[in-house]
């Protein structure tokens, strides 16, 4: 009896242990995701990866906290908003730990990392050559664009390319200014070769040759290589990138993808992330967050009959769509501190249901390139009148002749008001003593633009975020004058 | 007709039987009385017939024989040291009974993993909480009821919103990752302690050291909490119990803020001080009228209502416990609530002589809504402190008061009362916890046990956001989000246990077995926008016009383990326990899945030695142990290079998805191991009236999984955790308990204290670990460094304010600081200390300004019983702990368009007018309100957590009414709080996992509650 019970017990134990010890019990599967060894199979995968290049652009740290904020340093806008760190940025009293410096650092490197992944993996896929070229072109373009944006802000940054990815070495010292410029140049040139001139309707918003050449010509201008700036600028001017008939077309949801728009951030009601860019610029009581208010100083820069003023900056008394119940409403004095906001970035739906999230965010227009070519010509002792006048006549203004830098500077300020280039332009002109930025910023422009002290050469570039210096454990060195 | 005939027949039968009984009126009953835990026969047990004085005593072999008379129904068995037992005779002639040892602590049985032990034989650190200490405490979850009861166990409350649980920390925070202990409910390692109705709990055992917890291996690095729910007993007459209480709660305090006229004059002073034009918004005289105290409007009386009914009973072969309960709490902020309905059925059965089957089943359903009380942008209490006091709750025309007329001056906050009246968010959770176990006695002493369990939960949530037009934080579009999540965990365990005494002196208990548990989760969500009609009947996804988002996923994890434990007791003097467990986890890659965890402990019952004859010490035991445990409670799949969805974009108007790598892999990721040493001394003295238990422990977590700080050049990929960190907790615990009786007054006093030192030994590459930043100023508050406790406050040191310009000019802290020459420092600004001596105030002058880890936490309770009255008091407290009052940091800052703390009225406005509150200004030139020791406060507190006064009705009255023991009581929770902390509540909890603790975000405070209740049993 005893023995039988013992055997019964052991038998039960045995069967259960055999049944229980499933070999694959401890295998876990990634649901809804793949691993890098199972991705990169075909054209669909490659296209999906190329979409990822763009998906971060509209992130709050992809534009509002970065490109959009740096220009509070200029004389065009007052910071407004409620970001405590902005005061120090605007007044040049910041140090390397100012949180504004770090917001978009890793986002830009994430876009670069996605570009690197495409550059490494897509050439190995068997797929339609034209599509493959376009996708590679997009990767080179976005990498070049990210380094261009880095260059404008910090000057020198670590250069991460596919070589680093393969070696798994991300902690590298900064490149020199020349190396950064060379990287941008190489990438944008390759992009120009591989991309299409224009995209079909299903691909509006992807990079084009015009976008690559446009940024390339700006790079050459910043490098003072005027011949090349003119060469690539002319490629844009002679390409299918004509100015829109109406300046305002660039800033309306229905027409913002016209040929003049070389590159923008696509936004669509619903599926995509919310339109932070619009929210930042719109006044608080009108569904926005009320950042970056234009100054009276900028408004007074416009000539008397300049059509562009009406499309760029709101003034007290202007009427806007979007009132409740489908009415229009008046822009009154208390809506913004300075009494203005940048109309280019915020539109409201006519039925009163809020901000129109279909409005895209302009990053580069061919009008900018016309003025780049004009400047390059003027500064290489040629006439830039033709290009300047193309832009002026679109704005309903009489032509100029014999335009020199003052006229060019004026034209850039009013054509590109609020498009976040002013401070970068002023700094590079100051480097060549074309203007005096210290004196310019020391002026007292009233409560919303007090005198500020710009120190050269320290403030030509922002410091690398202190956190990144700390994390690199000594590999990454801080920018000059910020140590 | 038929039934009438049948009935007659039945009566006749009964009479016949009764007659037969009477004929053999001298009926005899015999039986044996044994000790339930040891099985040993009990001599000299008094066996009497209930309701009479006839009886006998059991003999040396535990046998008894008693002659019955007609009408004898129930036998009473009693013996000193044992709980009296009542048994229904039921016409049996043989009635065997087992008696349970009564309230002598050391004879108690404690539940340890996969078995139970006599408390006197335990060599590890195990603490017990009896169920009656958790009874009728008006809390929504058992986690809160455990707070302060046991040395070494701290419960960190994460705010006081209804249903908010709190986190249990056993012997300090052992890891920067998930430091929650393993919760085992009725043998199932399950997630949620708070789904159990506290009134269903029979006992809670907390395994604190390696030796006790090692049997749970992988998951026990943070300790184990074992919950045993009430069960019926065999041979028990049916008992019905009803518990009900109802209570009301209030906010204990509100923060003092400025009134309208003082606020306006201070706002104006800023412009004067800055020599700029005043904003015309402040000249409006209607803003001088004090209209609303927003905190008073936000807080109102909450209510708590609870009723539960339980039924227990048992026959010779089966016993059961059935309970059902409903708990309903409305919080002190309107529209916050938590409801829980629970049902339980536990039963045990004896099948034949060798097989026992048991089952437990718990069904719970809870509903709550979650208010936003943690955000420094729009948290409810945060907003109520800051909203303008001259704005009315509602305007005379019935519309809600709003700051929309001047958002840049009156604050971009919404009317908090409007917010709580328009919130539509709710979560509901259904939980099933069940197990089926069987125990088969193969041979004498050798048992086979199988345990199958399931822990399933379904959660559904809903969140409807309305269009907000008239408030500053407007919302132009409404939306509805729905989420659903389901999780099932299946457990199967098989083990053998063997128990034998050899040659009288050698006692062996062994257990060995196999367990596996799988965790399957599934979830999806959907959201839609543009609802044309916001009526409640239209708040469903079908009515939305455009799609907002949709997604869903699944997760799977599993554990597989083998374990064994051996207990050896030599002559009741020398005790040894050895445990070993091998665990495999699905969270780690091939080659790293398995971990091995050994532990041992030894004990010496000094009082049983022949040489020991200290008269007043009844029991003295010295124990010591060492062991290794594992923790695998981190994200899974970290050994894979994952590629996943990277967000949407639109080309033209065509929306597309995208894919990118989401994670870098760590092929070598594996367990964290905690290594623990424990030395303990326990004693019972003075006739067992005083019990003392002292423990010293040292716990080091090695291979702590840390996410290395990502250098930005990697992008936003998740960097997997690496096993690199080391964290140490060591300290002392003391548990004391004393009970005595003076005449009719019996009392018991208990106290416990824990002294824990928490120190980070090693981090990744010597770098620090940051935490989430606070508020609109994006300020860093907490960091974790090597050589310091977790989550220290990191900021500047200060030394009062500058009173004159001369002080600024001569200040050595600013000798090389360009801000002085730029005129950015003025009298009335804060004097920061230049720690690194470079003559400037920069980021490098930040340092450790305080630790949120308490040096000591303690509790003490007293119970008094006098005749029919009972009184109990329970205090708990924490000492040597700091709090960072971030809300004050933002609340006295005049550069924001908000109301401010009332103390700002005493600001600096001339030499020597203040040395603590800086001057009014609209500028942030000197950054006076940065993270500094100005906002670090002493967070020590002592709380009268619970006071309860009860009266039990006289038995004669209750007998007449036909009910059993009836007790009325009144009790109070959080009645008194003694603390120097100036904020709403000194218990602030975690904000960013274990990396940020005790930072005041104006969390939902704990309320003061008074309840009135009734317990009745039938």
Q: Could you write out the DSSP letters of every residue in A6-47?
A: HHHHHHHHHHHHHHH--GGGG----TT-EETTT---SHHHHH
Q: For position B25, what pLDDT does the model report?
A: 47
Q: Do B924 and A84 touch (CB under 8 A)?
A: yes
When CB atoms are compared, the residue of B560, B644, B717 closest to A25 is B560
- pTM greater than 0.95 (yes/no): no
Tell which B residues from 454 to 513 touch A, by Cβ distance under 8 Å: 469, 472, 474-477, 492, 494, 496
> Does the CB of A466 have a partner CB in chain B at under 8 Å?
yes
Q: Do A52 and B646 touch (CB under 8 A)?
A: yes
Q: Nearest CA of chain B to the CA of A306: how many Å? A: 30
Task: Name the nearest CA neighbour of B829 among B899, B934, B901, B905.
Answer: B934
Chain A residues inside the 8 Å CB shell of B716:
106-107, 109-110
DSSP string, B304-317: EEEEEEEEEEE-SS
- Residues in chain B predicted with pLDDT less than 70, given as ranges, are 1-26, 37-39, 51, 80-81, 101-107, 217
Tell which B residues from 941 to 980 touch A, by Cβ distance under 8 Å: none
CA dist B908 and B833 (Å) reads: 19
Tell which B residues from 585 to 604 touch A, by Cβ distance under 8 Å: 585-587, 593
Task: Name the nearest CA neighbour of B999 among B859, B791, B831.
Answer: B791
For an interface test with A, give the residue of B405, B444, B595, B715 to mutate (most A CBs within 10 A). B715
Q: What is the pLDDT of residues A180-195, one digit of tens each?
A: 999 999 999 999 999 9
Q: Do B655 and A267 touch (CB under 8 A)?
A: no
Chain A residues inside the 8 Å CB shell of B650:
205, 266-268, 271-272
- Residues in chain A predicted with pLDDT less than 70, given as ranges, are 1-23, 270-273
When CB atoms are compared, the residue of B408, B585, B650 closest to A26 is B585
> Does the CB of A325 have a partner CB in chain B at under 8 Å?
no
Detail the DSSP E strand segments found in B466-592.
479-502, 506-529, 546-570, 574-585
What is Dmax (Cα atoms) for chain A?
118
Q: What is the pLDDT of residues A113-124, one digit of tens each?
A: 999 999 999 999
Tell which A residues from 126 to 165 touch B, by Cβ distance under 8 Å: 158, 160
Task: Name the nearest CA neighbour of B762 among B694, B819, B703, B813.
Answer: B703
Chain A residues inside the 8 Å CB shell of B554:
31-32
ipTM of the complex: 0.88
DSSP string, A336-353: SSSS--BGGG--B-TTSS
Task: Name the nearest CA neighbour of B416 among B299, B314, B499.
Answer: B299
Give me the residues paired with residue A43 across strands: none
Q: For position B105, what pLDDT does the model report?
A: 45
Q: For position B4, what pLDDT does the model report?
A: 52
How far is C-alpha A120 from the chain's CA centre? 24
Chain B residues inside the 8 Å CB shell of A87:
923-924
Q: For position B378, what pLDDT does the model report?
A: 83
Q: For position A478, what pLDDT does the model report?
A: 92
Q: Nearest CA of chain A to the CA of B587: how many Å? A: 7
> Does the CB of A37 have a partner CB in chain B at under 8 Å?
yes
DSSP string, B86-101: EEE-TT-SB--EEE-B
Task: Name the nearest CA neighbour of A352 among A329, A383, A318.
Answer: A329
Chain A residues inside the 8 Å CB shell of B530:
353
Q: For position B21, what pLDDT does the model report?
A: 44
- Per-residue burial over A311-349, b if 16 or more Cβ lie within 10 Å, else e, is bbbbeeeeeeebbeeeeebebeebbbbbbbbbbbbbbbb
Percent helix / strand / coil, chain A, rounded to 5 = 50, 5, 45
**CA-based nearest residue in chain B for residue A158:** B713
**Helix ranges restricted to H, B24-75:** none
CA dist B631 and A120 (Å) reads: 38
**CA-based nearest residue in chain B for residue A206:** B651
At A133, which helix (H) or strand (E)? helix A129-154
Q: Do A25 and B586 touch (CB under 8 A)?
A: yes
Q: Nearest CA of chain A to the CA of B993: how many Å? A: 21
């Amino acid at each position: 009896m005893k023995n039988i019970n013992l055997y019964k017990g052991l038998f039960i134990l045995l069967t259960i242990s055999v049944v229980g010890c499933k070999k694959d019990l401890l295998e876990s599967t990634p649901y809804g995701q793949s691993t890098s060894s199972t991705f990169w199979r075909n054209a669909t995968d490659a296209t999906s990866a190329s979409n990822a290049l763009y998906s971060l652009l509209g992130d709050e740290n992809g534009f509002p906290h970065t490109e959009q904020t740096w220009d509070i340093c200029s004389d065009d806008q007052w910071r407004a908003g409620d970001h405590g760190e902005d005061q120090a940025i605007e007044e040049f009293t910041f140090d390397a730990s100012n949180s504004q410096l770090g917001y978009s650092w890793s986002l830009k490197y994430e876009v670069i990392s996605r570009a690197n992944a495409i550059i490494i993996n897509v050439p190995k896929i068997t797929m339609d050559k034209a599509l493959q070229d376009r996708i590679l072109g997009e990767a080179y373009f976005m990498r070049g664009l990210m380094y261009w944006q880095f260059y404008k802000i910090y000057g020198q940054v670590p250069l991460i390319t596919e070589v680093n990815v393969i070696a798994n070495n991300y902690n590298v010292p900064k490149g020199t200014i020349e190396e950064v410029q060379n990287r941008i140049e190489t990438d944008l040139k390759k992009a120009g070769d591989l991309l299409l001139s224009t995209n079909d309707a299903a691909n509006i918003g992807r990079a084009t040759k015009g976008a690559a050449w446009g940024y390339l010509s700006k790079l050459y201008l910043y490098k003072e290589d005027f011949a090349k700036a003119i060469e690539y600028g002319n490629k844009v001017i002679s390409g299918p990138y004509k100015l829109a008939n109406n300046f305002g077309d660039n800033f309306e949801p229905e027409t913002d993808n016209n040929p003049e728009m070389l590159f923008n951030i696509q936004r669509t009601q619903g599926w995509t992330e919310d339109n932070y860019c619009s929210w930042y610029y719109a006044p608080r009581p009108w569904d926005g967050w009320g950042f970056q208010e234009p100054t009276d100083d900028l408004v007074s820069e416009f000539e008397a009959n300049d059509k562009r003023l009406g499309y760029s900056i709101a003034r007290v008394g202007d009427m806007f769509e979007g009132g409740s119940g489908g009415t229009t409403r008046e822009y009154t004095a208390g809506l913004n501190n300075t009494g203005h906001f940048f109309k280019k970035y915020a539109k409201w739906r006519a039925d009163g249901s809020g901000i129109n999230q279909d409005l895209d965010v302009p990053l580069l227009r061919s009008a900018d390139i016309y003025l780049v070519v004009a400047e390059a010509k003027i500064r290489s002792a040629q006439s830039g009148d033709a290009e300047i006048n193309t832009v002026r006549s679109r704005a309903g203004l009489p032509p100029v002749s014999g335009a020199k830098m003052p006229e060019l500077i004026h034209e850039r300020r009013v054509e590109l008001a609020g498009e976040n280039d002013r401070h970068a332009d002023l700094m590079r002109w100051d480097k060549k003593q074309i203007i005096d930025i210290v004196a310019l910023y020391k002026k007292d422009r009233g409560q919303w633009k007090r005198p500020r002290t710009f120190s050269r050469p320290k403030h030509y570039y922002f410091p690398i975020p202190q956190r990144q210096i700390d994390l690199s454990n000594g590999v990454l060195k801080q920018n000059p004058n910020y140590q | 007709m038929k039934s009438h005939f049948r009935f007659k027949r039945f009566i006749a039968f009964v009479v016949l039987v009764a007659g037969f009984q009477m004929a053999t009126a001298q009926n005899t009953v015999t039986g044996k009385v044994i000790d339930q835990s040891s099985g040993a026969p009990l001599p000299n047990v008094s066996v009497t017939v209930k309701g009479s004085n006839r009886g006998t005593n059991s003999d040396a072999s535990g046998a008894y024989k008693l002659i019955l008379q007609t009408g004898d129904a129930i036998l009473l068995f009693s013996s000193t040291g044992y709980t009296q037992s009542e048994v229904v005779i039921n016409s049996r002639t043989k009635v065997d009974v087992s008696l349970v040892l009564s309230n002598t602590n050391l004879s108690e049985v404690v539940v340890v993993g996969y078995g139970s032990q006599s408390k006197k034989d335990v060599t590890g650190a195990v603490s017990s909480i009896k169920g009656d200490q958790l009874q009728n405490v008006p809390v929504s979850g058992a986690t809160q009821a455990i707070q302060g009861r046991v040395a070494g166990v701290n419960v960190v409350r994460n705010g006081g919103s209804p249903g908010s649980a709190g986190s249990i920390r056993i012997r300090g925070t052992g890891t920067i990752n998930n430091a929650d202990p393993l919760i085992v409910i009725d043998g199932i390692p399950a997630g949620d302690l708070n789904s159990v109705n506290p009134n269903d709990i029979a006992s809670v055992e907390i395994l604190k050291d390696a030796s006790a917890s090692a049997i749970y291996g992988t998951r026990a690095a943070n300790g184990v909490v074992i919950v045993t729910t009430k069960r019926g007993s065999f041979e028990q007459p049916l008992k019905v119990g009803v518990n009900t209480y109802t209570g009301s709660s209030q906010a204990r305090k509100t923060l003092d803020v400025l009134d309208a006229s003082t606020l306006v004059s201070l706002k104006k002073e800023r412009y004067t001080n800055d020599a700029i034009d005043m904003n015309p918004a402040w000249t409006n005289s209607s803003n001088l009228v004090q209209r609303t105290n927003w905190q008073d409007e936000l807080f109102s009386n909450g209510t708590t209502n609870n009723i539960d009914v339980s039924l227990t009973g048992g026959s010779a072969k089966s016993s059961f416990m059935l309970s059902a309960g409903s708990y309903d709490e409305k919080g002190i902020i309107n529209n916050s609530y938590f409801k829980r309905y629970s049902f339980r059925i536990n039963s045990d059965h004896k099948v034949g002589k060798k097989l026992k089957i048991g089952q437990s089943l718990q069904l719970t359903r809870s509903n709550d809504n979650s208010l936003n009380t943690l955000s420094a942008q729009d948290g409810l209490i945060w907003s109520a402190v800051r909203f303008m006091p001259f704005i009315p709750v509602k305007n005379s025309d019935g519309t809600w008061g709003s700051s929309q007329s001047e958002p840049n001056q009156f604050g971009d906050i919404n009317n908090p009362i409007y917010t709580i009246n328009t919130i539509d968010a709710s979560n509901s959770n259904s939980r099933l916890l069940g197990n089926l176990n069987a125990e088969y006695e193969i041979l004498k002493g050798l048992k086979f046990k199988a345990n199958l369990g399931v822990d399933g939960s379904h959660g559904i949530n809903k969140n409807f956001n309305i269009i907000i037009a008239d408030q500053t934080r407007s919302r132009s579009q409404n939306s509805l989000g729905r989420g659903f999540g389901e999780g099932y965990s299946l457990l199967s365990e098989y083990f053998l246990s063997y128990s034998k005494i050899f040659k009288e002196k050698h006692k062996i208990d062994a257990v060995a077995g196999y367990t596996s548990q799988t965790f399957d989760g599934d979830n999806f969500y959907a959201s839609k926008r543009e609802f044309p009609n916001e009526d409640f009947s239209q708040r469903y996804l079908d009515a939305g016009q455009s799609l907002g988002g949709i997604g869903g996923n699944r997760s799977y994890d599993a554990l597989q383990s083998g374990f064994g434990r051996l207990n050896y007791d030599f002559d009741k003097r020398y005790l040894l326990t050895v445990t070993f467990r091998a665990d495999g986890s699905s969270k780690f890659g091939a080659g790293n899945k398995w971990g091995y965890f050994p532990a041992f402990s030894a004990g010496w019952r000094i009082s049983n030695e022949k040489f020991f004859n200290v008269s007043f010490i009844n029991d003295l035991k010295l124990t010591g142990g060492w062991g290794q445990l594992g923790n695998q409670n981190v994200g899974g799949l970290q050994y894979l290079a994952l590629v996943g969805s990277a967000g949407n974009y639109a080309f033209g108007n065509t929306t597309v998805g995208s894919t990118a790598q989401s994670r870098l892999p760590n092929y070598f990721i594996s367990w964290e191991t905690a290594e623990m040493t424990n030395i303990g001394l326990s004693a019972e003295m003075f006739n067992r009236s005083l019990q003392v238990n002292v423990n010293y422990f040292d716990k080091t977590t090695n291979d702590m999984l840390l996410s290395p700080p990502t250098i930005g050049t990697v992008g936003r990929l998740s960097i997997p955790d690496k096993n690199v960190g080391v964290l140490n907790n060591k300290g002392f615990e003391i548990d004391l308990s004393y009970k005595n009786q003076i005449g009719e007054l019996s009392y018991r006093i208990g106290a416990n204290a824990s002294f824990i030192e928490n120190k980070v030994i090693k981090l990744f590459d010597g770098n620090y670990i940051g935490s989430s930043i606070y508020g609109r100023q994006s300020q860093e508050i907490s960091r974790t460094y090597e050589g310091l406790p977790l989550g220290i406050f990191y900021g500047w040191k200060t030394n009062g304010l500058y009173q004159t310009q001369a002080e600024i000019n001569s200040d050595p802290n600013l000798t090389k600081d360009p801000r002085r020459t730029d005129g950015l420092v003025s009298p009335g600004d804060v004097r920061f200390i230049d720690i690194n001596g470079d003559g400037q105030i920069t980021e490098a002058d930040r340092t450790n300004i305080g630790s949120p880890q308490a040096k000591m936490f303690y509790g003490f309770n007293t119970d008094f019983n006098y005749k029919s009255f009972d009184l109990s008091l329970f205090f708990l407290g924490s000492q040597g702990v700091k709090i960072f009052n971030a809300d004050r940091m933002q609340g006295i800052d005049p550069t924001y368009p908000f109301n401010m703390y009332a103390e700002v009225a005493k600001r600096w406005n001339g030499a020597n007018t203040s040395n603590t509150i800086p001057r009014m200004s609209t500028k942030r030139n000197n950054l006076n309100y940065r993270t500094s020791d100005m906002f670090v406060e002493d967070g020590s507190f002592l709380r009268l957590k619970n006071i309860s006064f009860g009266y039990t009705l006289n038995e004669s009255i209750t007998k007449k009414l036909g009910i059993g023991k009836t007790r009325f009581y009144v009790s109070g929770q959080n009645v008194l709080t003694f603390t120097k902390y100036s904020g709403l509540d000194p218990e602030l909890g975690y904000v960013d996992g274990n990396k940020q603790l005790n930072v005041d975000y104006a969390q939902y405070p704990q309320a003061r509650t008074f309840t009135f209740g009734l317990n009745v049993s039938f």
